[in-house]
Chain A
């Protein structure tokens, strides 16, 4: 991507296929391609090729054991008419919007609060990493035990305080609230950590200067902190949004297979039920395309810069 570095070869560069010669005639550059090739090859083979295969599957009446014939968009119309898909989509959207919003605002609050020198910094950092290191599935198992109606501490406290009147695990609404809370518990610290790292590279002098100019707390936050933090915020929110959008483990295990998300709908269709293979594949393509659009939105519309084009 960089220009003007290799002066010698740049002077001899010709139009058209000149770059090809330049790239592969130069031993150092050729080595570079050899070095990135193995990784690219497995990524293309194991991720990008299957998605093309998946698109093909979704347009046919295939089953798990055999490739079928072309049927157009029938699987997609079946999928959109399936109430289970509707429920999965609804749950996924609610889950993504609510959990990412909570994680962002709480995470930002925590990052702002701990962005200073204080005793016990190490302890806080350690505590932050504990939920993050948990396997999601195990976190789900643990929280399921805590939501449990006989031995669950959360159920007991909620009962005692009179907040809820029914068992958490048998109500879909409460389960959805439950998975959101578990996700917030597990990922907010990580968001805080990313934002804190972003805060720490803002030079202190900028704030000094603003203070000298008489800027108050609000002005400093909205005029300095937020704009300078934009990069870190977009990275954190995009990562979290796409992660939440493809949620599978948490719903499958905490909801004991009864709480639907888009991903559990796909899994159910292609791995459990024999009859739903077609709509399951359609939903798989649906997730892929929508996730791609979300990423595109962040990068193009919100102007997120990936560190691809750094230095």
Chain B
């Protein structure tokens, strides 16, 4: 943000430039949010209005009918519950393993640190589709198909690199002196981690939790592979199927899409500053 000085010289160029700049900004913002607004509009209009040609720009007679349909659907209710369980458990497990590993990487010295980090990073480049068949066979052998555990295990592995990466960046920003002081006072490495680092790192850990949760909430491939029974499927699997359930009820499809997206959008808007710094942490240091 300090780079404002570089553009100071151009300020004399007058208002035309800044008008153009704001036109550009407004169109950029509009393109980004338009689909969400439009789908929201589709979800609150009547069926007649939905099929009107030419389409109306603003909703004429708002109705909550589509939301009634979707919330009255037990499959959708169950899918929301399933997504919440899968994402929450994945987040907790990732934070537990991730914070321990990230602390060792950020703070402790050991010979194979580079190898360890390369292995972890390799997972974020890993094409998940390459292992669905072997995992399906293995999960079937131990009876994990159609259980939350199958998706939680795979989601955990693929979210871990993100969790570890973010936590390493956050841990590195914390002052080392405090831990050293704790160790001088007789604390072990583990105690220094639990009593000093964890509370101090809380904001960073919280941001990591949000991003891990979003990652798990958005996962589709594993859920679509291991969860065949509708009662176990998360929203990402259930909603595309609505296209065949509510064949022409496009309003209900739109409402379902809005319901599962809006919480994420709100979460992201509240914590945007932190999320941006978390997401870009790894990229600029390289």
Contact = CB atoms under 8 A, between A and B. Distances in A.
Interface of A: 1-2, 5-6, 19, 22-23, 28-29, 31-33, 35-36, 38-40, 42-44, 46-47, 50-51, 53-54, 57, 64, 110, 113-118, 120, 122-146, 148, 150-151, 153, 156, 160, 185, 189-190, 193-194, 196-202, 204, 207-208, 211, 231-232, 234-236, 238-239, 242, 245-246, 248-249, 252-253, 256, 262-263, 266-267, 270-271, 277, 280-281, 284-285, 287-288, 291-292, 295, 304-310
Given A117-B1, A130-B36, A36 B116 contact: yes
B92 interface: no
A176 to B, nearest CB: 19
A205 B210 CA distance: 37
Interface size class of B (residues with CB under 8 A): 35 or more
Nearest to A288: B130
A144 B256 CA distance: 14
Nearest to B210: A133
B199 to A, nearest CB: 18
B218 A281 contact: no
The prevalent SS among residues of B at the interface is helix
B127 A135 contact: no
B69 to A, nearest CB: 15
Contact of A249 (B36, B125, B137, B221): B221
Contacts of A281: 133
Nearest to A66: B137
Contact of A127 (B4, B24, B33, B42): B33
A227 to B, nearest CB: 14
Interface stretch (B70-78, B107-115, B201-209): B107-115
A308 B114 contact: yes
B254 A130 contact: no
B236 interface: yes
B54 A23 contact: no
A50 B275 CA distance: 33
Given A42-B157, A50-B138, A127-B32, A305 B272 contact: no
Nearest to A266: B129
Nearest to B94: A39
B134 A53 contact: yes
9 contacts: A50-B135, A114-B25, A130-B36, A133-B264, A133-B267, A135-B260, A235-B286, A253-B220, A253-B240
Contacts, number: 326
Interface in B210-232: 214, 217-218, 220-221, 224-225
Interface of B: 1-7, 9, 21, 24-25, 28-29, 31-33, 35-36, 38-39, 42, 50-51, 53-55, 97-98, 100-101, 103-105, 108-111, 113-114, 116-121, 123-138, 153-154, 156-158, 160, 164, 189-190, 214, 217-218, 220-221, 224-225, 235-236, 239-240, 242-243, 248, 250, 253-254, 256-257, 260-261, 264-265, 267-269, 272-273, 275-276, 279-280, 282-286
Contacts of B124: 239
Given A46-B153, A153-B38, A235-B286, A116 B109 contact: no
Q: Which 3 A-B pairs have the closest CB atoms?
A: A197-B280, A35-B104, A117-B4
Given A126-B269, A144-B243, A277-B133, 9 more contacts: A42-B160, A43-B123, A135-B218, A156-B54, A202-B3, A204-B3, A232-B284, A248-B220, A256-B243
A40 B116 contact: yes
A131 B25 contact: no
Most B Cβ at <10 Å: residue of A123, A134, A135? A135
A232 B114 contact: no
A284 B286 contact: no
A145 B153 CA distance: 33
Contacts of A122: 272
A5 B109 contact: yes
